[in-house]
Structure 1
């Protein structure tokens, strides 16, 4: 849009050789250019500081995250060892360092009930219309005690259903509690139904609506309960029973959780009268490897910090957050990370081989780590957990303390402070733009007024000149 007064200036100043509109714009810009250049320069410096601090923050967070993943992966924890490994598979909870010795004796494995019906000629035989009711509970000898917490099934069976289609209905409508199929063998076709593991997952079959004929083709032919069992029961539902340190424990599943030290057992075989011994072995190779990786990662942080804060003109020279990080790193090796350690148990990162040089770089003292692993392997393993203390908790706290934006003394606080300064500078640049526009408008109006007065003077002079020229000619 053409600014106000420009057409007037062009009309009155024609032929003067001066573009008063451009002159007003140039003068107003020249007035504020030094301030604008100064602020833009400061913003460039602040942006460089934000970038350097953000790289350090990201590196610290990545280090803590990677170490946390390694700890939770479980390979740093002591690995379980069973004298008879065929009895059970054993796993430990990630981030937990189990210790001690246990005895394990398995007297019974958990199993589900299996029924094989009386024989049919083939799987395509019709089973008869009606409703197949299935209730769940505990089968004990010839008795059945219903578990009312489990929902009974009522499966509609039509006059077109075969043994095979009924098997599909049982599997599909039991919500995973039952699996049924047709087995065709030397005795003909039989409906096989298998339930979940656990003593309370037994079941009875109670058809209704049959013709009463009682043979194949009548739904009542599939009736089963323990009192009338004629060999259909092939496997009883039962709980797993085992002793851990002579304490009897039962479980409806062969996968047993909630045990001491975060153990999970996957029971495989029984070993009545021959208890196996469970122990834990510290993975010294994995601990040594992770400490070497930690030293390398910390030196990456040290290098970035030196590049960003050392020397004249460095982005974070005299930055409070950078100074605080340097102090934290210098005391890392001697910091107590296991306050409850006693006796020969390791308590500091230095005990795990972390060493800092006079130049502020880290080194890996493998001899000291080996001595710690020899002296207290369980204590060393306990330092690599996901708890409130230990290696991960220390590095995680280092990262959080130095990246928290609400802490003015951290790198996060530095980033927040520099971003706030840039916002204020941007507001000042907006004010300067407004001030410049006001000055340009004021100069434009002044030039319009001056040019008008010049034009008026030129008109008067032109009239006088005409009169003088006329007078001269008359004489």
Structure 2
């Protein structure tokens, strides 16, 4: 692309014999390069720091999440069991391990829902017209939805879709069998979840007109199931629930009631963990050291700037390493002989990495296996007994908090990235102006030199004429 300066020179004519375009280009380059180099060097370092901080945070998140997942898995918590899954089955909920097992359960009654169905419309299908008007569904809790039935939804299928879209806790489905087609309504399980249906039909003889139900069966609508609560007895105490899925009878344990069987006792229990705590701690130390060594490399001072780590001198990363290194001495339990990782042989080295004294760990496990297990992986985490996973999560959350050093450093480097881009754009503008300025100066010089050369040529011609006339 032709520059403004070279265009000026071309227009005026380079009569001096000096390559002023090349001279201007060289002068602009000589001015630009040190400034541009300084900016791009700082820009490159800043970009590397942004990338390294993002990588460090990602690695920390991966480590913390993996630790939580491993410790909450069946290998370290055990597996819940029911000795009769046809009556009740169990599964773990996230957040901890069930306490108080084994427990004795009797399922006296399942939770059921109100189910009502219309009379059979022989020869009909889902697309059969049911009539127009409106249908109002009212739940026992007082929620109401009125649905207009017109030419867009006046079929069995259209009406069912409209009822489901009302999202009132009452669903509808179209059932077609050898007898014909009917509309079936179903509410939520539980004694408090009954409902009624009120209809206003444009045609008193339509199918729609017969869909009303307010607690009494009729020739066109009948109930096949009444709403009731599930009734169980757990360790001798009677309870009622609106659902057959129970999450709060035993902490961190879901109980699914499958069949009522009064008088039959089901035993709910937990198997022992299959994975050893010693293996877990070895894996924890190895994974932790991988993370810490990467941080050490990134923050290494180096002999000079070229050999220093990309995060050398970044105080927020030093703070991150400090918080991680403190984990071995942070209490995981408030009572007992073993309260910290250091107590069972996990200690912090001078470079922040961890070491595991397997002999000391073995001695602790032999002396108090339950105490060590509850310290590292308690059944229920608390402020006084957080366990290793919760401690890791709290350290991670503190490192990554919005007003913490790490997040502030990220924001600062992101801001600098924009500043460097703006500086380069400004330098481009300055250099363009500088080139124009130099070109104007050298163009004026060209004009003067051309005039002088013309005068010189004239004088030389005159001298030659004089000399020739004298001879």
Q: TM-score, normalised by structure 1?
A: 0.68
Q: 1:386 to 1:75 in 2, by over 3 A?
A: farther
Give the Cα separation in 2 of the matches to 1:227 and 1:19.
106
Aligned partner of 1:391 in structure 2 is 388
Please say if 1:240 is aligned against 2:233: no
Give the Cα separation in 1 of the matches to 2:402 and 2:196.
64
Gaps of 5+ in 2: 125-129, 150-154, 165-169, 202-208
Q: 1:281 to 1:354 in 2, by over 3 A?
A: farther
Give the Cα separation in 2 of the matches to 1:251 and 1:426.
63
Q: After superposition, give the CA deviation of every residue in 1:174-215 in whole Å (9 maximum; x if it has no partner).
A: 86767897999xxx99x9989675556789999xx9xxxxxx
Which of 285, 302, 309 is matched with 1:295 structurally?
285
Give the Cα separation in 2 of the matches to 1:116 and 1:33.
84
Alignment of 1:100-179 (within 5 A): 100-101=100-101, 102-111=103-112
When the two structures are aligned, how many residues end up with a matched partner? 431
Name the SS of the counterpart of 1:105 in structure 2.
strand
Gaps of 5+ in 1: 138-145, 157-164, 210-218
Q: After superposition, give the CA deviation of every residue in 1:154-177 in whole Å (9 maximum; x if it has no partner).
A: 9x9xxxxxxxx99x9999898676
Which of 231, 237, 251 is matched with 1:261 structurally?
251
Please say if 1:249 is aligned against 2:250: no
Q: CA deviation at 1:59?
A: 0.8
Name the SS of the counterpart of 2:108 in structure 1.
strand
Q: CA deviation at 1:94?
A: 0.8
Aligned partner of 2:455 in structure 1 is 460
Q: CA deviation at 1:427?
A: 3.5
Name the SS of the counterpart of 2:251 in structure 1.
helix
Q: After superposition, give the CA deviation of every residue in 1:386-418 in whole Å (9 maximum; x if it has no partner).
A: 98943333223333444457534x3x4444444
Q: TM-score, normalised by structure 2?
A: 0.68
Aligned partner of 1:213 in structure 2 is none
Aligned partner of 1:342 in structure 2 is 335
Name the SS of the counterpart of 2:248 in structure 1.
coil
Cα pair 1:9 1:448 within 8 Å, conserved: no
Q: CA deviation at 1:153?
A: 12
Name the SS of the counterpart of 2:239 in structure 1.
strand
Which of 1 and 2 has greater Rg?
1
Q: 1:415 to 1:459 in 2, by over 3 A?
A: same
Name the SS of the counterpart of 2:447 in structure 1.
helix
Alignment of 1:65-464 (within 5 A): 65-70=65-70, 76-77=76-77, 79-81=79-81, 87-101=87-101, 102-111=103-112, 198=190, 238-269=228-259, 272=262, 275-276=265-266, 278-280=268-270, 283=273, 285=275, 290-310=280-300, 311-312=302-303, 313-314=307-308, 315-338=310-333, 341-343=334-336, 347-350=339-342, 354-357=346-349, 360-364=352-356, 365=358, 367=362, 370-371=365-366, 373-375=369-371, 377-378=373-374, 380-382=376-378, 389-403=386-400, 406-408=403-405, 410=406, 412-464=407-459
Q: Give the CA RMSD over aligned residues.
A: 5.2
Q: CA deviation at 1:95?
A: 0.8
Q: 1:384 to 1:77 in 2, by over 3 A?
A: farther
Please say if 1:64 is aligned against 2:73: no
